[in-house]
C-alpha cells in the first residue's frame, strides 16, 4: 500500500517508521523546506516511553534530553521568590522517568529512524478526491498522485483536516492563552536552569531556560486573551503582537524580547484543543494534534502523537491494510486515553493556580493518565 503523510514534525516521521517496518510505502509532504527548527521543550511520558523503546530510540532520546537541575521564579526586579530542585515549570517532576527534550531534537531523531521514506519538502496538499480506487491528491506544486491512505499529521492548524472535515473553528476550543517560543543566547549564564517571571495578579509572563549544554537558551512568553484574529503564518505580525502585549514587562523580559527579532525559529500560537467525533473520513485519517490536540497545557501532545502513530500503524498492519477496520480500531484503542490527556490541560491549570494560592490540590496527574493505556503487541 502507498500512504501519504502530511507533516514532518514528530507524529509524521514516527508513523512513517512503523509503516515502513510493516512494509508500507510512505511519502511525507511538508510545507517547510526541511525539518522545521525550534519549538519548546516537550515531554515523552508513559506509554510513549515504551513506544520509543520499541523503536530502539529510547537511548538516543535520553542522550538528547535537556537535563534540567531546577527552576526559579523571580519578581520584576529579578529577586528570587521561589526555587525548586525537585520540579521545573516546563518538565514537571525531575525524579520521574519522563524525558524532556527539545521539539526539533526529537524531530531529527524520528526522521533519521524512518528509513526509506520519500519526502516532498516545500509543498502541501491542495485537494483530495476520494473514490473506490484511492485518494487522488493534487499538491500545491501541481503534482498529482494517488494514494491508498492519506494521514494528516499537520498540527493544530491542519490543512488536511480543513480540506476533508471542514473549518478549524468547528473543532477548536481556545483555552484562553497564547504562547511564544524562540531561541536566544544564554545571556543570563544559566547552568541547566530555568527562570520565570509572572506579574502578580497579571495575565502574562515569560521565562528562559538554558539548553544544549548551556550553549543557547529557549525563551517562553505568554499572555491570556480571547481568540485573536491574526495570520498564524505571518511571523513578523506575530512578533509585533507579542511586543505590544509584553513590551512593558519587568525583569529581563524586554531584553529577551529583543532577541526575537533575529530568531529564525520564532513561533507563536494559541493554547487550543481539537475535539472531533471521528478522526477519519473514508481513506483520510488524522494523527496527533491534527485530530486531538491537547495543547501545551496538557504536557501530553508529543506522547499522544507517538502513541497514536504506533497504534495507527499497528492496526493497519493487523487489518492487512483494510483502512475501514484499522481506523475504527485506532479510535477504539485511543479515545479514552486522549480524553484523559486533554482533561489534563484543565487539571494542570487548576493545579498551578492552587499552588500559587498555597492550597493543596488533588487531581489526576501524568502517571495516572499514562497508566490508563496498555500498548498492544502488533
- For the segment 99-128, what is each residue's pLDDT rounded down to a tens digit? 999 999 999 999 999 999 999 999 999 999
CB 341 within 8 A of CB 300: yes
The three grid cell numbers given for residue 278, joined into one nine-digit string: 471521528
- How far from 190 is each of 55, 89, 186, 215, 280, CA to CA, in Å? 33, 15, 7, 9, 45
Query: Is the residue at 23 inside a domain?
Result: yes
Strands 149-152 and 284-286, by their bridges, are parallel
- pLDDT beyond 80 at 209: yes
How many other C-beta atoms lie within 10 A of the C-beta of residue 358? 6
CB 11 within 8 A of CB 300: no
Query: Is the residue at 142 inside a domain?
Result: yes
Query: Is the residue at 261 inside a domain?
Result: no
Beta-strand ranges (E) seen in 56-148 are 70-74, 80-84, 87-88, 92-93, 99-102, 118-121, 125-131, 134-139, 144-147
The runs of H, that is alpha helices, within the chain are 11-21, 47-54, 58-63, 103-113, 159-165, 235-246, 253-260, 289-292, 301-318, 323-357, 366-370
Q: Is 60 left (phi over 0), alpha (psi -120 to 50) or beta?
A: alpha
- pLDDT above 90 as % of the chain: 82
- pLDDT above 70 as % of the chain: 93
Range of the domain at 314: 2-37+105-172+275-370
Strands 144-147 and 149-152, by their bridges, are unpaired
Query: Is the residue at 320 inside a domain?
Result: yes
Query: Is the residue at 42 inside a domain?
Result: no
Query: Is the residue at 121 inside a domain?
Result: yes
Query: Is the residue at 265 inside a domain?
Result: no
Residues 6 or more apart whose Cβ sits within 8 Å of residue 127: 137, 138, 163
Rg of the chain (C-alpha set): 20
Tell me what the mean pLDDT of segment 325-335 comes to: 97
Q: 295, 236, 302, 289: which is closest to 266 by C-alpha?
A: 236
Burial of residue 233 (CB within 10 Å: 0-12, 13-18, 19+) is exposed
Write down the mean pLDDT value for the chain: 93
Q: Domain with 11 in it: what CATH number? A: 3.50.50.60
Strands 92-93 and 87-88, by their bridges, are antiparallel
- pLDDT beyond 80 at 176: yes
Q: 106, 96, 173: which is closest to 366 by C-alpha?
A: 96
Tally of domains within the chain: 1
> Predicted confidence band at 346 (pLDDT cuts at 50, 70, 90)?
confident
pTM score: 0.94
- pLDDT beyond 90 at 72: yes
Query: Is the residue at 225 inside a domain?
Result: no
Amino acid at each position: 500500500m502507498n500512504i501519504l503523510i502530511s507533516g514532518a514534525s514528530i507524529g509524521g516521521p514516527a508513523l512513517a517508521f512503523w509503516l515502513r517496518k510493516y512494509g508500507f510505502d510512505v511519502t511525507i509532504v511538508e510545507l517547510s523546506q526541511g525539518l522545521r527548527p525550534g519549538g519548546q521543550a516537550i515531554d515523552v511520558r508513559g506509554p510513549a516511553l515504551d513506544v520509543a523503546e520499541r523503536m530502539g530510540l529510547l537511548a538516543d532520546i535520553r542522550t538528547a534530553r535537556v537535563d534540567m537541575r531546577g527552576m526559579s521564579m523571580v519578581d520584576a526586579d529579578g529577586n528570587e521568590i521561589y526555587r525548586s530542585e525537585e520540579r521545573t515549570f516546563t518538565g514537571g517532576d525531575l525524579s520521574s522517568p519522563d524525558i524532556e527534550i527539545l521539539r526539533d531534537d526529537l524531530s531529527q531523531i524520528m526522521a533519521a529512524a524512518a528509513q526509506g521514506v520519500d519526502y516532498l519538502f516545500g509543498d502541501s496538499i491542495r485537494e483530495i478526491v476520494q473514490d473506490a480506487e484511492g485518494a487522488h491528491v493534487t499538491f500545491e506544486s501541481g503534482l498529482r498522485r494517488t494514494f491508498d491512505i492519506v494521514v494528516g499529521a499537520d498540527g493544530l492548524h491542519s490543512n488536511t483536516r480543513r480540506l476533508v472535515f471542514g473549518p478549524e473553528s468547528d473543532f477548536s476550543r481556545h483555552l484562553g492563552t497564547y504562547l511564544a517560543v524562540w531561541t536566544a543566547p544564554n545571556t543570563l549564564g544559566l547552568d541547566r536552569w530555568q527562570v520565570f517571571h509572572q506579574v502578580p495578579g497579571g495575565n502574562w509572563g515569560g521565562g528562559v531556560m538554558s539548553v544544549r549544554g548551556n550553549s543557547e537558551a529557549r525563551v517562553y512568553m505568554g499572555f491570556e486573551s480571547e481568540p485573536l484574529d491574526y495570520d498564524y503564518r505571518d511571523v513578523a505580525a506575530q512578533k509585533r503582537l507579542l511586543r505590544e502585549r509584553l513590551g512593558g514587562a519587568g525583569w529581563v523580559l524586554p531584553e529577551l524580547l529583543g532577541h526575537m527579532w533575529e530568531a529564525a525559529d520564532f513561533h507563536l500560537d494559541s493554547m487550543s484543543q481539537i475535539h472531533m467525533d471521528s478522526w477519519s473520513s473514508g481513506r483520510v485519517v488524522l494523527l496527533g494534534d491534527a485530530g486531538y490536540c491537547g495543547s501545551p497545557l496538557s504536557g501530553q501532545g508529543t506522547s499522544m502523537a507517538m502513541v497514536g502513530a504506533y497504534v495507527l500503524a499497528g492496526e493497519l498492519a493487523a487489518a492487512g491494510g483494510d483502512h475501514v477496520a484499522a481506523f475504527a480500531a485506532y479510535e477504539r484503542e485511543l479515545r479514552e486515553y486522549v480524553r484523559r490527556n486533554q482533561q489534563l490541560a484543565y487539571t494542570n491549570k487548576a493545579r498551578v493556580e492552587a499552588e500559587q494560592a498555597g492550597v493543596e490540590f488533588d487531581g489526576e496527574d501524568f502517571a495516572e493518565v499514562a497508566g490508563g493505556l496498555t500498548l498492544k503487541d502488533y
